[in-house]
Amino acid sequence: MAQEILLDTRELEAPEPMGLVLLNLSLLNETTYIKMIHRLEPLMLYTHLTSNQFQYKTLFENDNIIIYIWTNSYQEIKKLEELF
């Protein structure tokens, strides 16, 4: 069963959003993903995710940026794709 880690960082000032998501990356496994809500596009985060072989998808909804993050071992990708 898929488990979501929700990180609403819209009210946080830099570098708090980056620190928060980096702490939570270690919790990801084959059934867990992160949904991060941000007010700005975190370009530095994308570089970190790519270089550490995490997968991500960014959606732009109204004034919010939603970033889904998961590992290559994530088993529930079809359920996650339904959110995109």
Tally of domains in the chain: 1
Examine the pLDDT at 81 and tell me if it is beyond 90: no
pTM: 0.94
CA angle 8, 34, 64 (to 5 degrees): 40
Give 27-57 pLDDT, tens digit per residue. Answer: 999 999 999 999 999 999 999 999 999 999 9
Q: Which domain holds residue 12?
A: 3-81
- The enclosing H or E element of 12 equals none
Rounded mean pLDDT, 55-67: 96
Identify the band that residue 82 occupies on the pLDDT scale cut at 50, 70 and 90. Answer: confident
Q: Is the Cβ–Cβ distance between 45 and 21 less than 8 Å?
A: yes
Give the other-Cβ count within 10 Å of 66's Cβ: 15
Identify the band that residue 18 occupies on the pLDDT scale cut at 50, 70 and 90. Answer: very high
| CATH code of the domain covering residue 58 | 3.30.110.40
